[in-house]
Structure 1
Amino acid sequence: MPSPRPRSTAVPVVLCALAVLAARPSSSPDPGGPAEEVARLYEAAADAARQYEDGRRAAEEQRAKARRYEERLDRQRVRSAALHEDLGRLARAQYRGGGGLPLAAGMVLADDPDALMRGQRIAHRTDLAVDKAVTESRRAEERLGADQAEATAAWKALEKRNARLAELKKEIEADLRTARSRLEGRADASVTAGSGPGAARTGAPERRSGRTWVLPVESYELSASFGSGGARWAHRHTGQDFAVPVGTPVRAVGAGSVVAVSCGGPFGIQVVLRHADGYYTQYAHLASVAVDQGDRAGAGQRIGQSGSTGNSTGPHLHFEVRVTPEPGSAVDPVPWLSRRGVSV
């Protein structure tokens, strides 16, 4: 994607590629370099975002659980009140029916002592049943109250944790913006001077996708597509652009060997891979690289960080698929990826 910003292209690409390899550390990472810092902060920000989203979902689940318990507790309280009313109604009925008299006196005064006894037994069983139901209802109410209190406490604790995570996420993102600015400045200076990016490797093992083919970046917005016309290109746009912030990990779409790592020219800092099926993929406008010419890269392996080097209107990855390693043989990368099971 061309840009109105003038960029120096006076240094030959071959010399620039040699400078890339000479500038990169051979074994140990550069812990103070902006590429390393951006990679570390990018992962930290992603991890904080994942934890925040997990915590937010957990808090929503606990809040919903607390609400369900509260609704059940309200219904249980209504049942308990009804049972208490039934028990009171029974007591009042017994009193009006002579239930307050001693049983012996009631039998003397009754016209049918046997009927009186049967009535007493029925009333007693009814009284016991209602009393038992009231006791069980009270216990159920207590259990629901305890469950509701526990769910509410868990929800409140998660809300506090999420508030702390949100603050941490903001702090990391602020640090990441600063580090991205430093990385972009270093990349621009490197390309202008023809000294190459000098990208650092991280100490952590490379993350592989477990799939044969993947997207070159994980989160993006599509910008210029293959074949687009405009004043920015001499003819037509030869790749698919993925708009991403500076420092976004750029990954090999499939297993392949690194045939070119270079800087300078309209593509800025770039990596070209050759795949087993004979196709080549190009990753351009990078801010840093994480591979050397001759390296093997697996599908999903980080090979660099996105940037805005070369003729670029803003931070993005220019991704191109070719039938040769050189420009001029590009094919549309979207259907090419689609035939390999990757949707853009």
Structure 2
Amino acid sequence: MRSPRRRPLLIPVLLCALAVLAARPTDTTDENGGAGAGTDVARLYAEAAKATRQYEDGRRAAEAQRSKALDYEKRLDRQRQKIDAMHEDLGRIASAQYRGAGGLPLTAQMLLADDPEELMRGQRALSRADLAVNSAIGRSLRAEARLAADEAKAQAAWRALEERNDRLAALKKEIEAKLESARSRLEGEADASVAAGSCPGAVRLDRSDEGLDRSWVAPVQTYDLSAAFGSGGSRWANGHTGQDFAVPVGTPVRSVGSGRVVKVSCGGAFGIQVVVQHAGGYYTQYAHLAAVAVDQGDRVRAGQWVGQSGSTGNSTGPHLHFEVRVTPEMGSALDPVRWLSERGVSL
């Protein structure tokens, strides 16, 4: 028989379990329970990059097939010219035979000839020439047929690739439209976090393997260099302290080398930022982010995503502000382009 005193314990236990579940972190979900903008942007960014690669691969393949078809057309033209020339040769041989014999049968020619043997030798030479030309024409016609078949295949393959590329271009355009919308949402979330003075939690992005086999990499993969180290301007009291990379909002930002995350913060001139400590007493800063993908204390490898670019803080547009320092705080900056160059990374 079960003890009646055990039953009332079920209610507090269930309440405790619900409290624990409610207190679990929800870094990668938004207030509606769906995927956060940072996760959406990362996924769409990867899809757009894949679609772009497929489109470019298809475009190159189509160009190669088109070149092959054009090459077959040129070879066909040359082959037809050769056949025409052979037909002319054959016509000349026939005309020479007719003129030389005056239209008489070979028997009559032999009876009237001063030297029948010489006549027979000439006839044999003309016959061999006739056979040679006919044989060459036959080979050329077969070659022309093969070339025509190859050209038809190349043209069909080219058209199929063009159709595939049209579909890929439409897919790419659709993904990029979704990406633009997600980027706008991400930027809005980042600005709201900075305005509230509360940093967003780390969005644990699917990390790219690219660059993980190297000791040092560039902080972003595709970029335009903008404001350089030491450049002057009204926005900087003593010159620009880093190198800016002009990239769209949501671009994955990578740790340039292995190290430990010593700072994740938001607010102030740098907006949302990450600082990584590397061996040798160097620190790298990744500023004006829209989202972070690491927490303070995390160990990172070269090429590992630490965040997504944005335009938070003192920024005039989407970009990554990248610094190299000998302390975790500003005031000890080095030229990041030269520093990376010394480590085999050319920007």
Give the shorter-chain TM-score range. Answer: 0.7 to 0.9
Alignment of 1:65 onto 2:68: yes
The verdict on how the C-alpha distance between 1:36 and 1:148 changes in structure 2, with shifts beyond 3 A counting, is: same
Give unpaired runs (5+ residues) of structure 1.
Answer: 1-20
Q: Measure the CA separation in 1 of the matches of 2:114 and 2:319.
A: 102
Deviation at 1:53, TM superposition (A): 1.4
Equivalent residues in 2 for 1:175-186 (5 A)? 175-186=178-189
Q: Measure the CA separation in 1 of the matches of 2:332 and 2:243.
A: 14
Deviates more, 1:110-119 or 1:315-324: 110-119
Deviates more, 1:83-92 or 1:225-234: 225-234
Deviation at 1:200, TM superposition (A): 1.9
Which residue in 2 is equivalent to 1:307? 310
Which residue in 2 is equivalent to 1:252? 255
- RMSD of equivalent CA atoms: 2.1
Deviations 1:91-135 (A, max 9, x none): 222223338644434333333222222222112111111111111
Which residue in 1 is equivalent to 2:8? none
Which residue in 2 is equivalent to 1:191? 194
The verdict on how the C-alpha distance between 1:25 and 1:167 changes in structure 2, with shifts beyond 3 A counting, is: closer
TM-score (norm 1): 0.87
Q: Measure the CA separation in 2 of the matches of 1:261 and 1:198.
A: 10
Determine helix, strand or coil for the equivalent of 2:66. helix
Which residue in 2 is equivalent to 1:136? 139
Deviation at 1:307, TM superposition (A): 0.5
Quick one: which amino acid aligns to residue 219 of structure 1? T
Q: Measure the CA separation in 2 of the matches of 1:237 and 1:94.
A: 93
Quick one: which amino acid aligns to residue 269 of structure 2? P
Which residue in 1 is equivalent to 2:159? 156
Deviation at 1:317, TM superposition (A): 0.7
1:48 to 51, 73, 79: 51
Determine helix, strand or coil for the equivalent of 1:37. helix
The verdict on how the C-alpha distance between 1:178 and 1:127 changes in structure 2, with shifts beyond 3 A counting, is: same
Identity of aligned residues (%): 70
Deviation at 1:189, TM superposition (A): 0.8
Which residue in 2 is equivalent to 1:276? 279
TM-score (norm 2): 0.87
Equivalent residues in 2 for 1:88-237 (5 A)? 88-98=91-101, 101-203=104-206, 206-237=209-240
Deviation at 1:301, TM superposition (A): 1.0
Quick one: which amino acid aligns to residue 278 of structure 1? G
Q: Measure the CA separation in 2 of the matches of 1:314 and 1:130.
A: 75
Deviates more, 1:269-278 or 1:219-228: 219-228
Deviations 1:181-221 (A, max 9, x none): 00000111111122322342234665444221111011212
Aligned residues: 321
Deviates more, 1:332-341 or 1:190-199: 190-199
Q: Which has the higher contact order (CA 8 A, sep 6+)?
A: 1
Equivalent residues in 2 for 1:233-244 (5 A)? 233-244=236-247
Quick one: which amino acid aligns to residue 141 of structure 2? R
Q: Measure the CA separation in 1 of the matches of 2:175 and 2:106.
A: 82
Deviates more, 1:322-331 or 1:231-240: 231-240
Which residue in 1 is equivalent to 2:321? 318
